[in-house]
Structure 1
Amino acid sequence: MGTGEPDIEIQPGAIVGLKAKEEAGPVVIRGRTRIRSGSVIYADVDLGKDFQTGHNVTIRGHTTIGAHVVVGTNTVLEGYVEIADFVKIESNCFIPTHVKIGTRVFIGPGVTLTNDRYPLKNRDEYEPEGPVLEDGVTLAAGVVVMPGVRIGRGSFVAAGAIVTKDVPEMSLVRGLPSRIYALPEHLREFNIALSWRGFLKNSSDQ
């Protein structure tokens, strides 16, 4: 495990650097990090500054996470995941392999992303392909996003929606079956947590 930075708290009962393979690389942890009890961080994970987990989080290998990211209690990242800066993932979420998440993204509680079009079927005919969440995307509680779907910059997906096709930027997705609408003006502001404000003062999207 490589740290070299101050202000790192790994609570009792957390496991950092669990190796799925003997040749796996270290966990890189930067400053102002808190990993809460019950969480398991596998080897080959790179964590940015100001990272924190809730309890009982699992983050598997080959995952790269930027600065100012929160991963909520009972959330699972299955590895081979890329997360940019300023991202908040709430509790009880599932993030499979081959997912890319942009900056200033909010993922609400109970969100499920998927990467397998035909679970345990036709395994030789395609590769898993996770969703892509572009910058500024919001997924409200209980959203399900199907494999390979790209959700465009600044879009907002309402609670309980199941997203089955690509979403253009600055769109609103809601209803079952889900439909795509123009994003209302009051939802066009990019996501910003209070704790991010001092670090985003030079951003044109603030």
Structure 2
Amino acid sequence: MENDQYYMHPSAIVEPGVSIGDGTRVWAFTHILPGVIIGSDCNICDHVFVETGVSIGNRVTIKCGIYLWEGVVIQDDVFLGPNVVFTNDKRPRSKQYPTEFLQTVIKQGASIGANSTILPGISIGRYAMVGAGTVVTRNVPDYGLVFGNPGRLVGWVCRCGERIDASSDHSSLQCSCGLYYSISSDGVIEE
């Protein structure tokens, strides 16, 4: 089904009260609850569920089989690989609901690999990369490269996605794409 703003597959369900930006595509068997805000030029693939209170920025790609629960904030230019799992309750019990869910924020340009699990209350930094199958149990810094179970910071990536070699003693590093980065006094990469 096409309208003036976005494309919605005939089998998708978009409840009343959802805000969807221009150029966004919502594919088969996706269900979006009231109160969700979705930016422009997003691609929301098959079998995605988006709960009330979720915010999705512009130019976001959400691959198949992802459930976004209340408290999840996805900023602009984020990539979520197939079957990424988000949780929003640290101590889940049947019929016992928290009064407020912890906010999980995926910051601008971050990429999360297929089948990763993101625990509640986590912040994944700008342009960070989470490897496939990673269980993220703590915050990830900007440009951080994390993988494993539990997820461990193993390096740094450029905004283009290439790994940055931070093993040298130089305070300034250049990616093969031409962007420069520096290492702060606490060992964090900065653009």
Q: TM-score with structure 2 length normalisation?
A: 0.78
Q: Map of 1:109-124 to 2, 5 A cutoff?
A: 109-120=82-93, 123=96
Instruction: Return the alpha-carbon distance in structure 1 between the equivalents of residues 53 and 100 of structure 2.
Output: 13
The answer as to 2:81 corresponding to 1:108 is yes
What SS does the aligned partner of 2:47 have?
coil
CA offset at residue 56 of structure 1? 0.3
Identity of aligned residues (%): 27
Instruction: Return the alpha-carbon distance in structure 1 between the equivalents of residues 98 and 44 of structure 2.
Output: 33
Q: Map of 1:27-176 to 2, 5 A cutoff?
A: 31=5, 33-120=6-93, 123=96, 127-176=100-149
Aligned to 1:188: 159
Instruction: Return the alpha-carbon distance in structure 2 between the equivalents of residues 125 and 110 of structure 1.
Output: 25
Aligned to 1:201: none
Instruction: Return the alpha-carbon distance in structure 1 between the equivalents of residues 124 and 94 of structure 2.
Output: 26
Q: TM-score with structure 1 length normalisation?
A: 0.73
Q: Aligned Cα RMSD in Å?
A: 1.9
Checking the alignment, whether the CA contact within 8 Å between 1:62 and 1:80 is kept in structure 2 is yes
CA offset at residue 120 of structure 1? 1.9
Which consecutive residues of structure 2, in runs of 5 or more, have no partner in the other structure? 162-191
Which residue identity lines up with residue 131 of structure 1 in the other structure? Answer: T
Which consecutive residues of structure 1, in runs of 5 or more, have no partner in the other structure? 1-8, 11-28, 191-206
CA offset at residue 121 of structure 1? 6.7
Checking the alignment, whether the CA contact within 8 Å between 1:67 and 1:85 is kept in structure 2 is yes
Q: Matched residue pairs, number? A: 161
Q: Which has the higher helix share?
A: 1
Which residue identity lines up with residue 46 of structure 1 in the other structure? Answer: S
